[in-house]
Amino acid sequence: MTETQHFWRWSEKTYQAPDLDWRAASSITVGVDVGSVSSQAVILADGKLLAFNSTRTGSSSPDSALRAFRGAAEPIGLTLDDISYAVGTGYGRVNVPFADRTITEIACHARGANHMGGPSIRTILDMGGQDCKVIRIDERGKVLNFIMNDKCAAGTGRGMEVIADVLSVPIEDIGRRSFEIDEEPAAVSNVCTVFAKSEATSLLRAGWSVNKVLAAYCAAMAQRVAGLIERMQVEREFFITGGIGKNIGVTRRIERLIGVEAIKLPADSVLDPQIAGALGASLFAHSLYRKAQKEAAAAGGTAPGNGGTPGGAAEPAGEGAGVAG
């Protein structure tokens, strides 16, 4: 019997820094982003990237948070007990059992994008599994404003997964294949993912190649997202985070539509646009831990370890940007 192929299944990713000995570090801070579709954990040793993991979110948020953490930590022998401070973010952030506090994913993506793309980043497009956000930030990564669509699958990763399955194309090949066409077709007319599914099937029957249908679908998704971006107006520099950020079929078409090119990670970077939220959370965890340590030192006490009071630390940059998701 052959196993059913799940075309939507994107590869889970794990990374451990080859030359960093966490046992010598004075702090281990963790950011966990439990999204509606994927969960990530990023671990920092003294503020430097030690490890990360990206995995699919299961039916239980606490399990998904733990799975993401273990995926990053276990290969280097790190356990929950070694964590100095942890921040949970994302749609399931209140369900990260080992988090010392939670911060909205808007603030975390802002901080993560600021770290990945540099201080010149002003506009972030975060294309997640079940929502899409445009975030305006300042040079320190603080959120100034944001808008989001979380009502409709068109323009989200979940919508792309549905199309991958309908067309039997592995999701990670969609971007490349959508450019292997003779001529750019018109975007599919149906915005709704459910209707786009039937439209895609009709186009195939009408003789379109799979690649051409992919192009038409990526173009429709790009149009929709570009509409959201234009409501906010793009201020340079522009950076894309989230899983769909890795799909060039969508991102390049967005760039064409809005006339602005996104800043890309260097080719040799170990980072991944999908971990931006967890990375931001880990950076917040690091700052909060250091701040708590300084305060404790000033008060003559000891630094709080794991289990410190959530919300006990000072407000991080970007807080007050609103609760999303």
Partner 1 sequence: MIVAGIDVGAKNVHAVLIQDGVVLAKAAVVSGFDQEESAERGLQEAARVAGIDRSAIQAIAATGAGRKALAIAGQQPTEVLADGRGAAKLRPGARTVIDVGADEARAIRLSPEGKVLDFAINEKCAAGAGAFVEAMSRALDMSLGDFATSSLGSTQSIPMNAQCTVFAESEVVSLIHANTPAADIARAVHDAMASRVSAMVRRIGVDDPVVLGGGAALNVGFVKSLSEALGGVNVEVLPDAEYLGALGAALIAWESAS
With CB under 8 A as the contact rule, the residue among 27, 89, 130, 211 that binds partner 1 is 130
With CB under 8 A as the contact rule, the residue among 181, 191, 260, 263 that binds partner 1 is 191
With CB under 8 A as the contact rule, the residue among 16, 193, 247, 251 that binds partner 1 is 193
For CA atoms 33, 36, 38, 39, give the dihedral sign. Answer: positive
Phi, psi of 57 (to 5 degrees): -70, 130
**Length of the chain as a residue count:** 325
6 binds partner 1 (CB under 8 A): no
Q: Which stretch binds partner 1 (CB under 8 A): 47-55, 146-154, 275-283, 286-294?
A: 146-154
Question: What one-character-per-residue DSSP string does 213-245 give?
Answer: HHHHHHHHHHHHHHHHHHHH---SSEEEESGGG
Residue 96 in contact with residue 210, Cβ under 8 Å?
Answer: no
With CB under 8 A as the contact rule, the residue among 26, 118, 147, 194 that binds partner 1 is 194
210 binds partner 1 (CB under 8 A): no
Residue 241 in contact with residue 125, Cβ under 8 Å?
Answer: yes
**223 to 242: interface string for partner 1, x by CB under 8 A:** --------------------
Question: What does the CA dihedral 292, 34, 118, 258 come to, rounded to 10 degrees?
Answer: -150
- CB-nearer residue toward partner 1: 130 or 247: 130
Question: What one-character-per-residue DSSP string does 161-210 give?
Answer: HHHHHHHT--GGGHHHHTT-SSSPPPPPS--SHHHHHHHHHHHHHTT--H
Restricting to residues 34-53, name those near partner 1 by CB under 8 A: 36
Restricting to residues 252-281, name those near partner 1 by CB under 8 A: none
Q: Which stretch binds partner 1 (CB under 8 A): 14-22, 155-163, 214-222, 231-239?
A: 155-163
151 binds partner 1 (CB under 8 A): yes
205 binds partner 1 (CB under 8 A): yes
86 binds partner 1 (CB under 8 A): no
Phi, psi of 83 (to 5 degrees): -75, 130
159 binds partner 1 (CB under 8 A): yes
- Binding residues (CB under 8 A) for partner 1: these are 36, 59, 130, 151-153, 158-159, 162, 190-195, 198, 202, 205
